[in-house]
Structure 1
């Protein structure tokens, strides 16, 4: 079993709580997402290294999209 812990810090007043809530529906049963105003903390366990890489890639892409969407919404 591979255990992963990912911490993402917000930039320049970015509301990480909104980003966390946007990606929360994608969480797998073996994921734990801790959210506060300044950062996201994701903890999860995976059986295979390939699955870990795929999961991390999906998470980072979903976070990128959520951040971009929130940025566009704030500009309007």
Structure 2
């Protein structure tokens, strides 16, 4: 088999699928994959939400610490 034939073999086999086979493949094979992707996206969204909340808390505490340390510095002067 030459390189050109080898490269065309997947294309030829893909063309042989009928529309019914593609629909069946689409619904049965990809459904678990879709669920996994949706679950991964949901987890990622939750992680990003948690990270956003933690960053807001951290920035609030940092600002609060800065304010109190400035006040403490002013009182020492």
TM-score, normalising length: structure 1? 0.37
Q: In proportion to residue count, which structure has more helix?
A: 2
Kindly indicate whether structure 1 or structure 2 has the higher relative contact order, using CA contacts under 8 Å at least 6 residues apart: 1
TM-score, normalising length: structure 2? 0.37
